[in-house]
């Protein structure tokens, strides 16, 4: 509690999740950071946090991460490559 009471207004704003997402280069602007948080793309200690004003304590600073992206394009390309390989294999066997 004494840590919170000793914070100035500027320090309090620096402890917001939105600010930390920008500081950790997970977003390029505060607006983008806010959107990532609101859209549930940010994890804090393994849990989704969707409040940009979430107060990040010192023990949680290094536990902020983004939700992993699904690589749909890569999966589709792999399927196409696999189907082409199967067709080529059939053609070579004939």
Is 61 contained in some domain? yes
69 versus 90: which is more confidently predicted? 69
CB 43 within 8 A of CB 49: yes
How many structural domains is the chain composed of?
1
Instruction: Write the pLDDT tens digit of every residue in 47-81.
Output: 999 999 999 998 999 999 999 877 666 666 666 66
Domain that holds residue 35: 2-67
Is 6 contained in some domain? yes
CB 87 within 8 A of CB 44: no
| Residue 37's CATH number | 3.10.290.10
53 versus 4: which is more confidently predicted? 53
pLDDT band at 83 (very low <50, low <70, confident <90, very high): low
Instruction: Write the pLDDT tens digit of every residue in 6-45.
Output: 778 888 889 999 999 999 999 999 999 999 999 999 999 9
Task: Give pTM, 2 decimals.
Answer: 0.66
Residue 27 burial by Cβ neighbours in a 10 Å radius (0-12, 13-18, 19+): buried
């Amino acid at each position: 509690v004494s840590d919170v009471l000793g914070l100035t207004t500027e320090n309090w704003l620096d402890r917001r999740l939105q600010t930390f997402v920008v500081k950790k280069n997970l977003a390029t602007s505060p607006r983008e950071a806010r959107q990532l948080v609101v859209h549930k793309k940010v994890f804090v200690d393994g849990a989704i946090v969707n409040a940009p004003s979430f107060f990040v304590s010192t023990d949680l600073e290094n536990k902020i991460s983004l939700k992993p992206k699904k690589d749909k394009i890569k999966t589709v390309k792999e399927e196409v490559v696999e189907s082409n390989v199967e067709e080529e294999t059939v053609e070579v066997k004939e």
